């Protein structure tokens, strides 16, 4: 490999991963638990039940958590008026 190819490879590997824009209305498990005033375990059980019952939508968005960018589940209520 020549130097430009190695420089290009290094640039790709050192670039920050692309983060997703989280649409309005979506919140993390941690945010929901803090807002409602319950533990994360209780919030997770409630949100999973809401997803199972069709009341809550869950989507994963790539966000930076500490030094790592990873897909994090975000939740929002489903608009039942439609």
Q: pLDDT tens, 33-58?
A: 999 999 999 999 999 999 999 999 99
pLDDT at 37: 97
Q: Would you state the pLDDT for residue 8? A: 82
- Report the distance separating Cα 18 and Cα 9, nearest Å: 17
Domain parsing of the chain, residue ranges? 23-82
78, pLDDT greater than 60? yes
CATH 3.40.50.1370 fits 23-82, yes or no: no
Residue 1 has pLDDT above 80, yes or no: no
CA distance 24 to 54: 19
Q: Which residue has the tokens 């430009």?
A: 4
- Band of pLDDT at residue 2, cut at 50, 70 and 90: low
């Amino acid at each position: 490999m020549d130097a430009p190819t190695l420089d290009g490879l290094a640039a790709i590997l050192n670039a920050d991963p692309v983060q997703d824009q989280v649409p309005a209305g979506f919140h993390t498990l941690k945010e929901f638990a803090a807002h409602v005033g319950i533990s994360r375990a209780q919030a997770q059980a409630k949100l999973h039940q809401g997803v199972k019952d069709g009341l809550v939508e869950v989507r994963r968005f790539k966000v930076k958590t500490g030094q790592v960018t990873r897909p994090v589940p975000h939740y929002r209520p489903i608009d039942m008026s439609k």
